[in-house]
Every structure is written in structure tokens, then in C-alpha cells.
Structure 1
């Protein structure tokens, strides 16, 4: 299909971009790599009056060491995220999950900020940001990941607010990590995905962090699983038992790719696998 008519602006500064959105009066959309927005425009599932292109703002690109955290610019592409040495050293879970996004063409054009702001619960990166206690830095404020995703394809961003980047703590440096994803084809959205971090001490699990993809209208933090494995043995049997709690608090969709009950089962199986892989069990 052909998108509805819209105006296009390419600001040269962040303040101009915010002003353009404010002038659009809730009828504007930010476009970066366009890998999420353009399909919606073609299907006329979104029909903004103005597109504000932020791809010309260099301050939104790149990874910066901020002491206790990494600040990853919203315009940093998936390709750059996967290969960045700071991310590989301090947030390898993000690199691992990003490497599963779509295909090479999409990873070269798509951006981490676009993926997160799109707020698709079937996207791979929102669950990672949630599991890592990320903080979203916008043109107006900072928003913890647990408060950023509010509903299906809906975030806490205001109409005139631009996502500048995401801050990930270095606290998980040295933890075991794994992203386990079940999808029908290499380019498809996840039917279910699990982002997992595990810290081991003396052969036991000291702490774990688990985020679930496509198990509700927003990404889900599997707190029940985290509690179940803490201070317990790092064994496959223990992980399989704890993973039975993965569906707690979720509301997975039923669609052509699987029923809600099927997704609950997948969450249990994939969580056990992700825990074992992250713990090296």
C-alpha cells in the first residue's frame, strides 16, 4: 500500500527536532532507521502528519562510558551495537540479543532507539533493557525501563519527547548471559524470547535477572523465576523447576503463530535453557 500524505522535516539540532514535534501537536512521528515505522506507514496503521527525521543528529549516535554505566545513543545501529567493544565488555547480553534481530540489511539500518521506542513486545531489545534495569534518557527526563513500556506499541514518551539513548549499568559485567529465542524463520519476530543474566558464587546462583519477550502487551520481568533460583544450585534440575514460574504475571497473546497456552509452555522451556546457558550448567 501507499502511505498517507505527510510532511517531512530534517532538523539540524535536537532543539529544532523537539520544536518540530511540538508544532505537530501530537500528529508527528520521529523517524530514524525506519525499519519499524515505514511498514506501519505503508499499511496505514500509522498516519502522522509530520515525520521528523533525527538521522542528522550526530549526538544521538555512539556508545559512551559514563563511569558506572554505558550510554548508548538512540541512533546507534544494531550493527554498531553488536560490534562495539564497550558493549561487548560490559553489556554482552545486549550484543547477543541484537545479533538475532531480523537480517543483516535491517541490522545495518535499524537503530536501538527506534527498536526500543517502537515498544513492540515481540521485539528482542525491550526485554534486555528490562532485565538489565536500563534507564531511558529522553530530551526531557530519564525513565526507568520498568516504567517505559506502558502498553502494546506504546511507551511513556510524550508527543514532543525524543529518546536520546539508553543507559545500561555496568553492574552486570562478568555475569553469565544468554538470549534464547524461538521463532519460525530467521527474519521473524520472536514467538517467545528470554533474556537472562546469572551471577554465580561458589557453584551456586547468587542472583539472576530474566526478561521475557512476547509474553504480554509489554516486555515482562520474570521476578518469580529470579527469586526461585537465587541462593540455589546452578543445576539444570533447579533451573527447570524455577522456570515453571516463568508464566506468572504474564498475559501472552494468541495468534497464528501460537496460542497463549503454547507461549506459556515455551516460556518455561526457554527460560530453563537460558538459565542453564547463562550459568554454564
Structure 2
């Protein structure tokens, strides 16, 4: 899967098809030769077999090669699906950082011995790896993302899962409700501090100071304090509403991602790091 060059985002799917001729037998006395796919198309669905339709599938090239052969031969062809920007934004909001899952529902017809017969094909599922999906978003002009690895395990078994749950909630709202996404960033920080507290550590600034040094700890404390203050603007109003834009929300959510990544790295024990390297 990759992005096809077009004026709007277009999903390009490469596929292979092998059509074998059927030799004459008791079941098929005449056999079946010269099979050819005449028409093939369908729909791409999101999330499940009965999920919402992303768009129609078309085959701009390669269909003319889908003919039967007496030997094993796989023919390559291309399927495309145009995705409007608003649909792509909706998909990103619902994806929540997980690899996207699609269902392909195809229909068409064969040409067999001069006649036309329908093609019966059950829908099938495929999952797009996250890095491939992010590459598609970047190539389609939607926007560029970095693959951020978040470690859930803190020292001695503590977990950042609650903070990551809030982070995923904020991600889903970046496009549809930026101010609310920013507000959830405060919950990310509070859940992270609670995870540290449960394991006997101090608050985030004090803990980062202990993991680094006083000078860096002081600057990290300023960053965390400013992030919490920004995330609280709409909640506490301070005399006026703060209409955060999508770029602002995306920047603050990504700052939370980086903070969680750093906490996860700095709070792992040397034993855990060594075991991970041996795995």
C-alpha cells in the first residue's frame, strides 16, 4: 500500500491474482479454458466487514492481464481508492494510534467460453503496518508524523498505561476538538505523576532532576509547568476562553508523547535494559 499521485489522497493497493485453467474431468467434462476477468471493482471499508465505506475501489491498470494459464502464474494489478480529506481526518481520529484495519469487498464478472459469469468473493481483511500508514499520510500531503515508541513499564513494574490511555484520547480529538485535546494533556501529566507516586518516586520535575542533574531538572520543571498551565487555560478560563488550533493541539500532544517516552526510558532499571538487549 502507498499513496498514488492525485489531487486528493488516493490509496494505491498492489495485489496479485493467479487464474488456473480447469482440466477436463468428470465434474467438468469440458474443463474451463480461456478464463478472463471482465470487470472487477468494489468498496473499501473501515474497521470491520460491515464498517463505514471509505470509498470505491477501481482498477486503473492491470486488469487486461488477468487471464487464465495452464501453469502457475501470478498477475500483478493495482487497485485505487480516492479518500477525501475529511474522511481521512475522520479515520485518523478513530485510529487512535493503532494500525488501521480495512476490509475489501470485491465484485465482478468472468468471461468463460464466450459467456459471462459473476465472481463470488467473500470480503477479506487486511491490516496496514503503522509505519506504512504514516508514510502514506506523509506522501498524500495529509501531514507528517513521527513513529513514537511509548514504554509502558516503569521501574519495578509500575505502569504508564493510564497516561497513555489519556494520550490516545487526546490524539483522537486533535482534528475534531483541539481545545479539548489540549485539556486532556493535563490528565496525561497527572496520570504520569500518579504512576511515579505509586512506585515511590516524587513528582515529574523532582524525579527527572534525580535522573539527570539539577540544571536539566530545573529546565524540565519549567517545561512541565508550562505544559500544565497551557492545558488548564480552557478549564480555568482565566477570564477568557482559549480557542486552541489544531497545530497547537498537535504540538502539545506530541510534547506529551516525548515526555512519556523520556519517563519510560529514565525509570527503567539497568537490569531491564540489559534483559531487553538480550531478547
Q: Given the two structures, how large is their TM-score scaled by the length of structure 2? A: 0.26
Larger radius of gyration: 2
TM-score scaled by length of structure 1: 0.26
Structure with more helix by fraction: 2
